[in-house]
Copies of this chain bind each other. A is one copy, B any other.
Amino acid sequence: MKIAVAQLNYIVGDFDKNTETIIQQIDKAKQLKTDLIVFSELSVCGYPPLDFLENKDFIEKSNQSILKIAKQCKGITAIVGAPKINNNPKGKKLFNSAFVLSDGVIQNSINKTLLPTYDIFDEYRYFEPNTEFKSIQILDKKIALTICEDLWDNQPVENSFAQTKLYTKSPLGELKDDYDLVINIAASPFSISQEDIREQVLIDNAKKYKKPIVYVNQAAANTELIFDGNSMIINAEGEITHQLKTFEEDFYLFDSENLNTKQNIKQKKENTAQLYQALKLGLADYFRKMGFKKAVLGLSGGIDSALVAAIAVDALGKENVVGILMPSKFSSEHSITDAEDLAKNLGIKHHIIPIKDIVNSFDNSMFEVFKGTEFGIAEENIQARSRGVILMAYSNKFGFILLNTSNKSEAAVGYSTLYGDMNGGLSILGDVYKTDVFKLCHYINREKEIIPHNTIVKPPSAELRPDQKDSDSLPDYDTLDTILRLYIEKKDSLQEIVNKGFDIDTVKKTILMVNRNEYKRFQSPPILRVSTKAFGLGRRMPLVAKYDF
């Protein structure tokens, strides 16, 4: 059987566009005499649709789109993902389904069994799990049609207070041996390390059940979530015979009878290169799908804004990025020159708008109320917030979207000003630790200096008071980031982190900073997710709570 894998970039809720794209691929596949073409999970409506799924209109449009696609399926079978109304009198209103379309109609559908409801996933919020198991016949093949998590029944649950596996059911196990081929339609988001884990899960399934697997992901970013594509074909021996592109749309046609030899296996990119590509797609898709073209950001001369500017230029084009330099009386000479060098290297327009007069006017206006008090956080934040006002004024005036430049280390410990440098439509680096910010800058400079050398080597500073350095109030970034990873990603306790060789006071101080700054992160822009535990959607902490060890 000739099977085509269509790895596409869908827009949530854009039924016209998604349907058109799907039909184009079906037409292309027909010309290539394809028997079966497979699209990814919830491809018709885009993933993740979130609470749009509670909207009747949304479901009706999805249903109409499926019928429209089905009409094109003559002489070919297509598998698309979409929500399906649950007609049982009890249970959630919808299933997360795979529809089998041929002869111009919906021939069959299979519902998702394992509904991820952890981290960024809320599928049980919307969907009733499947409880009936059957394979489906497509031409001469019996297909085990599964949806993403359905192959993850055996996933290890990382925790040390209970050795459980997450799921009680095994969809493939339920089918016994009654199928020739597994198809898995997925919407599997990227994170560093996810690619390896996912490959292993697919390989383990192929080996365990001794069947080939066709895995179809999307290549798209939707708000926080980045889907890396990397669709693949695995033979019954557990060998990857072909892998589709990373972070890009792709199309691959193969013969299911010919899966014996490895074909086109990509060289895996190293982590920093992958991270870079993920952030670039995340930024590019945010703009493209929202209909925005142009971005503005503050250039401090520091490494975070330099990195964001470089990614934005790559994603949007240098003519669509503007940098604004906003020196204060505490800004060092090199803040300006480094930022100017960056703008020159990137070829972007920049403006210099000093904030001294603005800060003075705030200080004068607050004088009566503040009199007798010392310079402190209030005055530091006035500077950061004055910059925030300037950037938003530029954004409002010219329709440029403000890019947030905070990194994950800062966001974690609250080393940032709410309504100041935390402003922005999208946070590019909010899930990237400072130590990875450095790696990304070296990656960008791998062939020539784009991010000025001095920006990379000078000690990080917020420059909100005289001679301020990050290291005055924070542990060095290697230590900080390691502690943060253990606390946030691994959910290690104080004692567990200390046992790994860290000073107890440093760990206590770090954990307290993380816990006490939940309120700031609550009001953060959406953050591109590239780790297994990003701030935002996938990490839900109560604000009003007692935090301690």
**A491 interface residue per 8 A CB criterion:** yes
How far is B162's CA from A418's CA once the two chains are assembled, in angstroms?
43
Q: Which of A416-442 contact B (CB under 8 A)?
A: 418-419, 423, 425
For A525, what are the chain B residues with a Cβ–Cβ distance below 8 Å? 522-523
Q: Are B540 and A290 in contact (CB under 8 A)?
A: no
Flag A332-371 by CB within 8 Å of B: 1 or 0 each: 0000000000000000000101110110111011101110
Chain B residues lying within 8 Å of A118, measured Cβ to Cβ, are 125
- CB-contact partner of A542 in B52, B377, B547, under 8 A: B52
A289 with B544: in contact, given A55-B491, A56-B159 (CB under 8 Å)? Answer: yes
How distant is the Cα of A391 from the Cα of B223 in the complex, in angstroms? 31
Which chain B residue shows the least CB distance to A49?
B542
By the criterion CB–CB under 8 Å, are B388 and A546 in contact? Answer: no
> Whole-angstrom distance between the alpha carbons of A27 and B46 in the complex?
57
- Residue A50 CB within 8 A of the other chain: yes
Is B381 in contact with A541, judged by CB distance below 8 angstroms? Answer: no
Please give, as numbers and ranges, the residues of chain B lying within 8 Å of A389 by CB-CB distance.
362, 382, 385-386, 389, 419
Known A-B contacts A57-B493, A90-B167, A159-B56; A393 and B49 likewise in contact (beta carbons under 8 Å): no
The residues of B that contact A548 with a CB separation of less than 8 Å are 13
Using Cβ atoms and an 8 Å threshold, which residues of chain B touch A122?
A: 117, 122, 125, 540
Q: Mark A148-168, 1 if CB is under 8 A from B, else 0.
A: 000000000101111111111
Closest-CB distance, A419 to chain B (whole angstroms): 4
In the bound complex, CA of A290 to CA of B425 (Å) = 29
| Min distance, Cβ A548 to any Cβ of chain B, angstroms | 8
Which of these, B89, B544, B546, contacts A285 with CB under 8 Å? B544
Instruction: Looking at the assembled complex, report how far the CB atom of A169 sits from the nearest CB atom of chain B, in whole angstroms.
Output: 9
The reply on A26 being an interface residue by CB < 8 A is no
Please report the total number of A residues contacting B with Cβ < 8 Å.
106
Contact between A223 and B366, CB atoms less than 8 A apart:
no
* Distance in Å: Cβ of A39 to nearest Cβ of chain B: 18
Complex CA–CA separation, A524 to B522 (angstroms): 8
A160 / chain B contacts, CB cutoff of 8 Å: 56
Q: Is the CB of A60 within 8 A of B390?
A: no
A376 at interface by CB-CB < 8 Å: yes
Whether A542 pairs with B13 at a CB distance below 8 angstroms is yes
Measured CB to CB, the closest approach of chain B to A51, in angstroms, equals 5
A396 to B523, CA, bound (A): 17
Complex: how many Å from CA A547 to CA B380? 40
Assess whether A48 is interfacial by the CB under 8 Å rule. yes
Contact B419 A392 (CB under 8 A): yes
Count chain B CB atoms within 10 A of each CB in A117, A289, A423 and give the residue with the most. Answer: A117
Which of A80-88, A249-257, A447-455, A471-479 sits within the interface?
A80-88
Question: B423 near A419 (CB under 8 angstroms)?
Answer: yes
- Scoring A124, A353, A361, A491 by chain B CB atoms within 10 A of each residue's CB, the highest score goes to A361
Within 8 Å by CB of A162, from B85, B166, B168, B524, lies B85
A526–B524 Cα distance when bound, in Å, is: 12
Task: Tell me the minimal C-beta distance from A427 to chain B in angstroms.
Answer: 11
The answer, yes or no, to whether A222 is at the interface (CB within 8 Å) is yes
B residues in contact with A351, CB < 8 Å: 368-369
Instruction: Given A51-B539, A392-B385, A396-B378, verify A164-B491 contact (CB < 8 Å).
Output: no
**A493 & B370 in contact (Cβ 8 Å cutoff):** no
Task: Write the nearest CB–CB distance from A46 to chain B, whole angstroms.
Answer: 7
Q: What residues on B are CB-neighbors of A94 within 8 Å?
A: 162
Which residue from chain B places its CB closest to the CB of A16 in the assembled complex?
A: B546
- Smallest CB gap from A548: residue in B: B13
The answer to whether B378 and A397 have CB atoms under 8 Å apart is: yes
Bound: A540/B168 CA distance, A: 28
Q: A99 contacts the other chain (Cβ, under 8 Å)?
A: no
Chain B residues with CB under 8 A of A493: 55-57
Residue of B nearest to A161 (CB): B56
Whether A394 sits at the interface, judged by CB under 8 Å, is yes
Footprint of B on A, CB under 8 Å?
A: 11-14, 17, 46, 48-52, 54-57, 59-60, 85-94, 117-118, 122, 124-125, 157, 159-168, 221-223, 285-286, 289-290, 351, 353-355, 357-358, 360-362, 364-366, 368-370, 373, 376-379, 381-382, 385-386, 388-390, 392-394, 396-397, 418-419, 423, 425, 491, 493-494, 519, 522-526, 539-549
Q: A50-B542, A382-B389 are in contact. List 14 more A-B contacts (CB 8 A).
A: A12-B542, A13-B545, A14-B545, A14-B546, A49-B542, A51-B540, A56-B159, A56-B160, A57-B549, A286-B544, A290-B543, A370-B397, A377-B396, A385-B419
- CB<8 Å pairs between A and B, sample of 29: A12-B545, A13-B542, A49-B542, A49-B545, A51-B540, A51-B541, A55-B491, A55-B493, A56-B159, A56-B491, A89-B163, A90-B164, A90-B165, A91-B164, A91-B165, A92-B166, A93-B162, A94-B162, A117-B117, A289-B545, A366-B393, A366-B397, A369-B394, A369-B397, A377-B396, A381-B393, A385-B388, A385-B389, A386-B389
